[in-house]
Every structure is written in structure tokens, then in C-alpha cells.
Structure 1
Amino acid sequence: MSLTGVEKFVLAYIYHEYGGKIYYQSGSSSPEEYLAEFIAEEFLPRKNPNFNRVVNGFAEAIRGLREKGYISMTGYEVNLTEEGKGEASKVPQEEYRELKKRFSKT
């Protein structure tokens, strides 16, 4: 299955930053939206005019990754599946850093 650029980035983010597992507590929003906000806040302040657009993109990517079987979301954790780890490991640390820089300039 082909991945979008944002899906690839989210996989690499979970893999390189958290070793393939993130614990979270969602409030009133869906787990995907909460996690998307959590990730977006690392790159953009909430007052940035593009913040909501980035959150929506990350949430859509998380839903896509879940549907494709690259991540599993249970209770209060997100885990990369074996397929997800395989795909995420294809993004070298250096390429991930470059992608991270680009997202920070959004």
C-alpha cells in the first residue's frame, strides 16, 4: 500500500521520537484528533494560522495509517504494527530530520 507524505512522516515521527509507541489521554476529541494536536504542537504554536490545517492533515494521516494496518490504537496507546515498523524504518534518521524541519516551517 502506498503512503502519503504526511502518513510517512507520522510513522517516522512515532518510530524515531518514541520508539514506536505513544501513550496519550484524549479529552473530548477523538483519539486521532488528540494525537494529531499533540504532534502538531511540537512544530507549530496553536496561534499559527496553519495550525488547524496541520492538525487536520495529521488526523487524516493517523486514520489512514490505522485503516492500512500500520498503527494500532488501543486504550490510551498508539503502537506501530510490524508493518508500520518496517515502513518507518525505511525513513532514515537524516531524512526524518529534514522532513521535521520542513513541517516546522509550515
Structure 2
Amino acid sequence: MTITEDHIDFCGRYDHFVLDSVDDLSFGTVGFDLMNRWVKVKCGDLEVCFADGGWMGWRDKFTKSTRKILRAIIDKYPEDEESNHQMKKQNKAEMATPRKPSDQI
């Protein structure tokens, strides 16, 4: 993942995409995964969730690396911090809502 002031470029094992802007940003659980925290980024109609999957998913538990992803995005988009980067209870509840298996990441 590369985060610049004008876009976020993600190149994973199976996917590659570029987000031109950050419309909304939240942090919390996603779907049925209640153990791990995810960074949820909305850009227009696209909604993407990021988490550090290193060490078979355990690296974030010891190093808080997913929070570092969140902090890097907030640092690159500081003008939106007040409106878009607040950790609201509503966002956390929305992210923890179970979804259909087809909606899972």
C-alpha cells in the first residue's frame, strides 16, 4: 500500500486499485470477524477495508499495525480529520453488523 496526498494505491495478492479521495474513514470490526480491527475507507461508491494480515493475522495484535495504517491515512488527509475521521459509535456499530456471506471481504 502506498499513501500519497492525492491517492491511495493498494496492490495485494489478488487485487490492485487506486482510491483518488477519502469520503469517509472508520475503524472497527467488519462482518463476522470480531477479533480483528479493520480500517474502512469509502471513496464514492467503493468501500474498502484494510488490515495487516502478517503473521497469519496475528501481527496487528502485537504491533498495532492496522492502527498505523489508519494513522498514515489520517496524516495524509488532515483537512478531513474533523468531519470524516471521527471514531463514532454509529460507525463502529455499522461495521460490526453481520452481513451476508456474499458481502464479506
Same fold (TM > 0.5): no
TM-score, normalisation: structure 1 = 0.31
Relative to total residues, which structure has the larger strand share, 1 or 2?
2
TM-score, normalisation: structure 2 = 0.31
Q: Identify the structure with bigger relative contact order (alpha carbons < 8 Å, sequence gap 6+).
A: 1
Relative to total residues, which structure has the larger helix share, 1 or 2?
1
Q: Which has the larger radius of gyration?
A: 2
